[in-house]
Amino acid sequence: MLRDKVILVTGGAGLIGQEFIRGVIENNGIAIIADNDENLGLRFQNKISSEFNTNNIDFVKLDITSSKSIMDAISYAENKYTKIDALVNNAYPRNENYGRHFFDVTYEDFSENLSSNLGGYFLTSQKFSQFFNKQGYGNIINISSVYGVIAPRFSIYKNTNMTTPVEYAVIKAGLIHLTKYMATYFKGMNIRVNSLSPGGVRDSQPGSFIQNYKDHCLNKGLLDKSDLKGTLVYLLSDLSTNLNGQNIVVDDGFVL
């Protein structure tokens, strides 16, 4: 489905990013791991190269808050592959105080996290869309969340130390509207923009949370990280050519 498509995934060495990279490779695409953690990124590149016996896996160091870093990554990919078919905005930069409860969040931390994350998605999209416009086509997929669609269900965190950070909800909601903004702004440029909003992904959460979460779903509850690959591959493929400005929710019915 993705044969010979060159796809750059920001945060490609992270929990979900690694599965996105796998999805691209499994469908015969060329995957570029774009991550700020060079050691982790290169280790994952070597692992995938060996696992799939392929050279269609690459790494580029990328800081989504730096124009120079983004332009360097674009130049690297263009020079090596002569094209870039798609950008997957998946990175999630945050500062050391990220994750605090609402009353404990400072204005400075709130602003910094929105700037680095939502601002980083804007900056990366801006630079890549300029390249796509010059190239004549492009595809951008923003990774949002169910909490960009609905308000957090705080009851599922009962008897845990977990919460949904206010920055997370604002960032993810902003990404969905940024997606719509860009899709309409790029009218006539042959650049399409969509977002993918996952539900919760299993990642060593406490049992009480897992059960509380499942009570709001229809069947499975928390997703496995691999459950998102199919939708991403569809958005990257020519099967979704006429899908533009949309937000696709993958959550086992959590938002219903």
How far is residue 190's CA from residue 78's CA, in Å, rounded to a whole number? 18
What's the start-to-end Cα distance of the chain, in Å?
A: 31
Residue 83 has what pLDDT?
98
How high is the pLDDT of residue 188?
97
Catalytic residue among 168, 181, 185, 213: 168
Output the pLDDT for position 239.
97
Name the CA radius of gyration of the chain, rounded: 18
Is 168 a known active-site residue? yes
Question: Looking at residue 131, what is its pLDDT?
Answer: 98
Question: So what's the pLDDT on residue 26?
Answer: 97
SS3 9: strand
Is residue 165 within 8 Å of 98, Cβ to Cβ? yes
pTM score, whole prediction: 0.96
- pLDDT under 50: residue ranges of the chain: none
Query: Which residue reads 């069947």 in tokens?
Result: 219
